[in-house]
Amino acid sequence: METFFSFLERRVDDCSSLLCVGLDPHVSMLPEASAEAALEFSLGIVQETSAYAAAFKPNAAFFEFFGAKGWDALSELIAAIKAESQRMGSMIPIILDAKRGDIASTAAAYAKSAFDHLGADCITLNPYLGKDSIEPFINVPEKGAFLLCKTSNPGASDLQDMLVLNDEERGKMKDDDALLPLSSFQPLYIQVAKNAQRWNLNNNIGLVVGATQPEALANVRAAAPDLWFLSPGVGAQGGDLATALKAGLRADGKGMLINVSRSIAKAESPKRAAAELRDEILQVKSQLGL
Amino acid sequence: METFFSFLERRVDDCSSLLCVGLDPHVSMLPEASAEAALEFSLGIVQETSAYAAAFKPNAAFFEFFGAKGWDALSELIAAIKAESQRMGSMIPIILDAKRGDIASTAAAYAKSAFDHLGADCITLNPYLGKDSIEPFINVPEKGAFLLCKTSNPGASDLQDMLVLNDEERGKMKDDDALLPLSSFQPLYIQVAKNAQRWNLNNNIGLVVGATQPEALANVRAAAPDLWFLSPGVGAQGGDLATALKAGLRADGKGMLINVSRSIAKAESPKRAAAELRDEILQVKSQLGL
């Protein structure tokens, strides 16, 4: 059965790369504040890096910023990535970074917008509203979703690190006088990882886990041994590539997309920067015997 | 100091109403699947209900569904609400239901899109990424945000009801052998409510709390005595109006926007449906002596 992750893994094999190239046309990076400039900026990065990209990740916010014109630019960008993929003879998955999350009928409208209208293959989602808010995005196996699990921003700890009662222990809490040891708890982000692993019946759910906290990466890998991670934070945000890969790679040497945006976009040669990152990842994998 | 909630309270006084009219042009409600039809549908509801609406809440998903044209329609709708407000001589706050949530620089782009470009006064946000993901939306007091706290969908319990360790108790957990009683825990949504109450320094943070679960409403009111709630779930989703108001109103008889979308849109006369709901709310308030 073709699924989003069988599609991604084919591309990973084709380009020997675990690099996800983020397309973040922040207005400060553009020569002028226009949707056309955002599109041109993004197309330039696609052209330079397509040989090394296991996936592209356009960020909806920086297109939405330009209103209707930005929306057209995003649509044109996705079509251009597909055309470039066809030219190369290897389709590159497109992950729409939109971090959506809404109740069912509204979620269905977002899913239709992202997958059918824009033509993205995958989307980032927020898990706070629970399983029924995720379902409209994952009921077609060829389309996928990465759920926010442990993000790389400073405020991530506000909720994600809170200690919650294990599912199993919760059932035992009938007695109000019961006392529970520390081992009954786990961080909220681990519960999200366990939910995702359980919900992944179509091989199309992954997790967003920042590369800046290797310990958290290792914990999420233990809780969700099968899932793909989308890991931002290497480069501009200070995450160390080798440490992150060691903590997060699956035993098959896959299971992790290293997302890089700014340090590729700002490089003198984005092409060379992407090639070097691809090779660095290969080198770490070989050191790990993967 | 003018803040989002002083603006809302002025409108609430002007129209003696706590009704928030949701503008959800779901494609199934439209005579044809087009952005023009979505706009016309929404404008019709605005015209019919403007006298009774304390706020309007367009849902971004149902416009995004139509791509760039939908985005233009949303922009036109917001401009039309402002024009209608001016005609009436009482500005009606516009809450963009977008449920965004992203790291800081991306959140800033979403804030600019919603407030500066579209012209919304307030937005719904997802709290999973923590305080720094909220800040770009609340640093201007005149603009506001409702944080998702306890939603009305079935999957809400997956994460929102999980029991987390109180902030205070957490500090005491230095000893790994410590045993904790049930009273050390609270549902995650209560933690979100407490965070919001603490972060509300500019009188511009509220909470989304479904009207379908009166007990949860009462718990959130206890945890966040000052905050405004945006409460969907009355009508189509089965929440009882009087029960919800009793559980959620503040002592000053304000603090709660009752959001209704489908049952107004589907009524033979949306105008009469809105007027009746406004009056029902007034009646309950008077029964409660508020």
pLDDT digits (tens, 9 = 90+) for B238-283: 789 999 999 999 999 999 999 999 999 999 999 999 999 999 999 9
Q: Which of B69, B82, B99, B271 is catalytic?
A: B99
Q: Which of B59, B132, B181 sits opposite A154 (nearest CB)?
A: B132
Cβ separation B164–A164 shorter than 8 A: yes
The answer to whether the CB atoms of A192 and B164 lie below 8 A apart is: no
pLDDT in tens, B74-87: 999 999 999 999 99
d(CA A90, CA A77): 17
Domain boundaries, chain B: 4-287
Q: Which of A29, A153, A157 to mutate to test the interface with B (most CBs of B within 10 A)?
A: A153
Distance (Å) from the C-alpha of residue A70 to the closest C-alpha of chain B? 8
Cβ-Cβ contacts under 8 Å, B112 against chain A: 65
B290/chain A closest Cα distance in angstroms: 33
Burial class of B289 by CB neighbour count within 10 A (0 to 12, 13 to 18, 19+) = exposed
B99 has catalytic annotation: yes
Give the torsion sign (CA, A56, A112, B48, B100).
negative
Residues of A assigned a catalytic role? 99
For chain B, the average pLDDT equals 94
Quote the pLDDT of residue B173: 63
pLDDT grade, residue B166 (50/70/90)? confident
Residue B176 has pLDDT above 70, yes or no: no
State how far the Cα of A229 lies from the Cα of B189, in Å rounded to an integer.
27
Cα nearest neighbour of A177 on chain B: B181
Count other C-beta atoms under 10 Å from residue A231's C-beta: 29
C-alpha A97/C-alpha A144 separation (Å) is 12
Asked whether A227 and A5 are in contact (CB, 8 A), the reply is: no
Q: Would you call A156 and B129 a contact, using CB atoms and an 8 Å cutoff?
A: yes
DSSP code of residue A226: T
CB contact under 8 A, B61 and A101: no
Domain B4-287 fold is TIM Barrel (3.20.20)
Nearest CA-CA distance, residue A55 and chain B, Å = 20
Q: What distance in Å separates the CA atoms of residue A63 and residue A190, rounded to the nearest whole number?
A: 32
pLDDT over threshold 80, residue B122: yes
pLDDT at A239: 83
Interface TM-score (ipTM) > 0.90: yes
User: In the predicted model, what is the mean pLDDT of residues B173-191?
Assistant: 80
* pLDDT tens column, B8-55: 999 999 999 999 999 999 999 999 999 999 999 999 999 999 999 999
More confident residue, B167 or A89: A89
Contact B148 A128 (CB under 8 A): yes
Q: How far is A261 from chain B (nearest CA, A)?
A: 13
Edge-to-edge strand list for the sheet holding B19-23: B55-58, B19-23, B256-260, B229-231, B205-209, B144-150, B122-125, B95-100
User: Cβ separation of B179 and A180 shorter than 8 Å?
Assistant: yes
Q: Which of A59, A110, A127 sits opposite B64 (nearest CB)?
A: A110
Tell if the CB–CB gap between B195 and A158 is shorter than 8 Å. Answer: yes
Nearest CA to A84 among A140, A42, A113? A42
Q: Is A229 helix (H, G, I), strand (E, B) or coil?
A: strand
The pLDDT value recorded for residue B181 is 77
- Give the pLDDT score at A110: 97
Q: In chain B, what residues touch A109 (CB-CB under 8 Å)?
A: 26-27, 61-62, 64-65
- Closest residue in chain B to residue A108, using alpha carbons only: B61
- Which among B72, B129, B231 is the top mutation candidate for probing chain A, defined by the most A β-carbons within 10 Å of its own β-carbon? B129
pLDDT at A174: 62
| Predicted model pTM | 0.97
Q: Are B131 and B205 in contact (CB under 8 A)?
A: no
CA distance A218 to chain B (A): 20
Dist CA A252 CA B107 (whole Å): 35
Q: Which residues of chain A are under the pLDDT cut of 70? A: 167-177
Of the given ranges (A166-175, B130-139, B146-155), which has the lowest mean pLDDT?
Answer: A166-175
Predicted local confidence at residue A176, as pLDDT: 60
Chain B residues near residue A165 by CB distance under 8 angstroms: 162-164, 185
Query: Looking at residue B235, what is its pLDDT?
Result: 78
pLDDT band at B165 (very low <50, low <70, confident <90, very high): confident
Nearest to B153 among A27, A129, A195 (CB): A129
What is the three-class DSSP state of A205? Answer: strand
Judged against a pLDDT cut of 90, whether residue B174 lies above it is answered with no
Best of B71, B158, B262 to substitute, by most chain A Cβ atoms within 10 angstroms, is: B158
Question: Which residue in A153, A191, A195 is closest to B129 by CB distance?
Answer: A153
Contact B71 A68 (CB under 8 A): yes
- Distance from C-alpha of B224 to C-alpha of B247, rounded to nearest angstrom: 13
Question: What DSSP letter does each residue of A24-88 carry, written as one string?
Answer: ---GGGSSSSSHHHHHHHHHHHHHHHTTT-SEEEEBHHHHHTTHHHHHHHHHHHHHHHHHHHHHH
Query: Which of A75, A159, A174 to probe the B interface (max B CBs under 10 A)?
Result: A159
A 10 A CB-CB count for B222 gives 10
List of chain B residues whose C-beta atoms are within 8 Å of the C-beta of residue A171: none
Comparing CA positions, the residue from A83, A6, A72 lying closest to residue A50 is A83
